[in-house]
Amino acid sequence: MDPRIKSIEDQVNNFLIKTKEDLESYRLQFISKKGVVSSLFDEMKTMASEHKKQMGKSLNDLKQLAEERFKTAQEALENNASTASADVDLTLPMIPNKTGSQHPLNLTRFRIIEIFERLGFNVEDGPEIENDWHNFTALNFPENHPAREMQDTFFVEKNPDVLLRTHTSNVQIRLMKNRKPPFRAIMPGRVYRNEAISARAHCFFHQVEGLYVDKNVGFADLKQTLYHFAKEMFGKETKIRLRPSFFPFTEPSAEIDISCLICHGKGCNVCKYSGWVEIAGSGMVHPNVLRNCGIDPEEYTGFAFGMGIERITMLRYSINDLRLFSENDIRFLKQFKPVI
Ligand SMILES: [Zn+2]
């Protein structure tokens, strides 16, 4: 066989035909009157008759191969075009992208972090499974305090006690124990209590606690910081009120109320007609807690506070059932700000 025929056969088989333009250049190269196959036919006419017969058979085979390849490629291109036009109806309205939304608890957490970061507070993190010392003893909880009971807390092990933390105060203890003051930090995180699940209580929820320890930190600093927070979080008109309270880890202690966002102090069922809504617990860090962490309470003082992210989110978005946050009901979740 003429080596040129073999070479053209290879070219025909390997020619890539993906577009109409490819098909046309294929046609010009191999099938048209000026193509390579035709020119070999022309050449054959001048040959001696014994060569002519042999060459003629090979050339006819080549011509057939080239034409078949052309036909198959042409059909394939036409089919693709018709499928594509059937799939896309440009007159239809577009299908909207399904974008996820941010969980309302995260939206609130991010906002709280943003406010305190601008005041120079770092974000600190710590373990959710904690030993008794970091969760209770270091925080000045007396031996027989009811919060240490099995009924109130989830224990992982007893003697020595290991439990799911009941507040993020364990992070405050770890911070004070491991580093030197001054500290200015907030601790957002998940906490656990052995509560029956209802519209107002859950066995897990989220807190943000704050700690500020330095020389000459006073109660006025605590009040001003939380007043600033309330105005940033709930609006410039928001007022705060401090009510004396008791916590083992702070002295003096106070509950922080804000003026009711719904009725602005006139009285409604959200504020139980008092005009005030509780948002946080706070106080000056108890000298025993500082001592437990190796800090001299004569040299350093500090304030601490803690608030529930669920509680603040419920106030922000007028949500009346705590269980909605963890039920993963898409109708509830998709009402909040999209991720993008
Ligand atoms: Zn009210």
pLDDT per residue as tens digits for the range 278-326 = 999 999 999 999 999 999 999 999 999 999 999 999 988 988 888 999 9
What is the CA(277)–ligand 1 centre distance, in A?
8
**Does pLDDT of 86 surpass 70?**
no
E strands in the chain: 122-123, 129-131, 155-157, 162-164, 183-192, 204-214, 240-247, 250-259, 276-285, 301-308
Confidence of residue 84 (pLDDT cuts 50, 70, 90): low
**Does pLDDT of 101 surpass 80?**
yes
What is the CA(156)–ligand 1 centre distance, in A?
41
What is the CA(259)–ligand 1 centre distance, in A?
8
What is the CA(328)–ligand 1 centre distance, in A?
29
> Dihedral sign, CA of 109, 114, 120, 126?
positive
What is the CA(143)–ligand 1 centre distance, in A?
39
Cα separation, 223 vs 243, in Å, equals 12
Confidence of residue 82 (pLDDT cuts 50, 70, 90): low
Q: Quick one: average pLDDT of 174-201?
A: 93
Cα separation, 50 vs 43, in Å, equals 14
Helices (H) and strands (E) in the chain, counts: 11, 10
What is the CA(167)–ligand 1 centre distance, in A?
28
What is the CA(237)–ligand 1 centre distance, in A?
14
Q: What pLDDT does residue 282 have?
A: 97
Cα separation, 269 vs 275, in Å, equals 9
E strands in 18-96: none
Q: Quick one: average pLDDT of 111-124?
A: 96
Cα separation, 102 vs 327, in Å, equals 15
What is the CA(239)–ligand 1 centre distance, in A?
13
Q: What pLDDT does residue 88 have?
A: 73
pLDDT in tens, 244-260: 999 999 999 999 999 98
**Does pLDDT of 264 surpass 70?**
yes
What is the CA(314)–ligand 1 centre distance, in A?
14
